[in-house]
Structure 1
Amino acid sequence: MLLTVPHLLPWNTKGTLVGILSWCHLIGAVSPWVGSFLYHLFMNVNYDEDLYRTLLKVDMIGIWLCQSFGAIPMMAAAVHCLADNVWYCCIFIYCTLSIWGLFKAMTAGSPWERRLCFAPPFLMRMLVMTLRCFGIGGGSPDALIHIILQDLVAVIGASIGALRIPEKWIPGRLDLVLNSHNVMHVMVVLAVCSMHTATLRDLAWMSDPSTCNRASYPPSDREEL
């Protein structure tokens, strides 16, 4: 991803905002693999429980970066054509909910608690996605299906991992392959692919200064960024 994602982002687009959002997407797209790699590489080291919990937190930080930084371009695009004060307010609220989720994730004591820590920012994404479905706020129409898939697939994967499906039905037969952890990681890859596709289309849409004008929205000062 480090070799392909940076070359696909619109770095040369005029405007600082799209550049910042491109960095957010790059961080969000790469971070879960870094955290997951470190966690799985050292998780079986014969050491104490503190090391394992530290590795688990590193993995959670990677997931958090994907869920927070990775989703900021989608949030920004979804409210791109609204008034500036509404835009800044939405981004501030989303960042606040994401930071709260990180704090809770670092202190969670069970898989379900760790997953539910991401519920507040997830619900806000669902809210702006619903508004987007009705043509309120902005966002590329071509990205909508991928916006839906990125969270739907991620939720399904997280639920499968937490419920231990399907190995709880046939214990001992799926220890090496096709267990819930394997399925969850495959679903995460698919979710990130949808996030990447949606972000590219949203950034391209935001790069066109006439998008909000065509939709009869008031001009925004953010286009000067």
Structure 2
Amino acid sequence: MEAIPIFYILATVPGLMPWEQEYRFLSFCHLFGSVAPWCGSFVYHLFMNIERGEHVYYTLLKLDMVGIWVSQSFGALPLVTATTFCFSPVWKWFIIISYCLLSLWGLYKALTASSPWQRRLCFALPFTMRSILTFFRTLDVWVGGSRIALSHVYLQDGVSILGGVIGAMRIPEKWMPGVVDFYLNSHNIMHVLVVVAVYSMHKATIKDFEWMSATDCNASDGNSTGIAIDTTFTSNVEL
């Protein structure tokens, strides 16, 4: 079943991306981030029953975690870029590079984690940084990004957290041992929530691309911190 989203995403998402020179890398990040969790999960589930010992199994599990990491890191770069779109170059690249470094730290922790909770908490620092940026987006000051995309911005991380918690706590099978082994167990629920999260990430990214294409930061006024505030934000967001 994990192969179905891979083919669907590769068949539909590339045609929706703005592959112009200035957005080519971000379009690649979004496509890569959307399909990566399913690739890692597909390989993990396909080979997880091979009897080659614990080392092989945990290698497959790490591959699954790398797919999630790609989605959380590469997949979120359009969001971070849109939020800092009208910042001065120094501030913009400082935030983007900081986010990349936190993501690399998360990858290291994911590959060395020894428990389900550790594997999920390794994404805490990048998530915290995205949450701070999202908070400032709700204030409609200092930062950019489409206001229309906000609900999807909330969902892409909120639903992911919910799925991670359900998976780590083994809900509901810990309450009903043996009853939901084949359906409606925590792993099934988590995969459904991943679909919702990736869909929300896609919708938010498309709206942010539209906002960046319609926004002229050179027409904005600057403030004392060197961060440019887009004065045409309200009118452009409806385009």
CA distance in structure 2 between the aligned counterparts of 1:173 and 1:129, rounded to whole angstroms: 40
Question: 2:221, 2:229 within 8 Å by CA — same for their partners in 1?
Answer: no
Shift in Å, 1:208:
2.1
Partner Cα distance (1:215, 1:183) in 2: 45
The residue aligned with 1:186 is 192
Shift of residue 79, structure 1, vs aligned partner: 1.1
- Please tell me the root mean square deviation across aligned C-alpha atoms, in Å: 1.5
Are 2:192 and 1:205 equivalent residues in the alignment?
no
Counterpart residue identity of residue 35, structure 2: V
1:41 & 1:189 partners in 2: Cα distance? 19
The equivalent of 2:234 in structure 1 is none
Letter in 2 for 1:140: S
CA distance in 1, matches of 2:206, 2:102: 24
Q: TM-score, normalised by structure 2?
A: 0.87
* 8 Å contact kept, 1:10–1:204: no
Structure 1 portions without partners, runs of 5+: 221-225
2:132 corresponds to 1:127: yes
Equivalent position amino acid for 2:30 in 1: H
Q: What's the CA shift for 1:120?
A: 0.3
TM-score by length of 1: 0.92
Q: How far did 1:6 drift?
A: 0.3
RCO higher in structure (CA 8 A, sep ≥6): 1
Q: 2:17 aligns with which of 9, 27, 51?
A: 9
Identify unmatched segments of 5+ residues in structure 2: 1-8, 223-227, 231-239
Q: Could you report, residue by residue, the CA deviation over 1:142-175 in whole angstroms, capped at 9, with x for unpaired residues? A: 1111000000000001000001111111111000
Moved over 3 A (4+): 212-220
Equivalent position of 1:223 in the other structure: none
Amino acid at match of 1:103: Y
2:106 corresponds to 1:101:
yes
Say which SS state the counterpart of residue 67 (structure 1) adopts.
Answer: helix
**What is the correspondence of 1:49-198 to structure 2 with a 5 Å cutoff?**
49-135=54-140, 136-198=142-204
- Number of residues of Structure 1 aligned to a counterpart in Structure 2: 216
| 1:42 matched residue in structure 2 | 47
| Match of residue 31 from structure 1 | 36
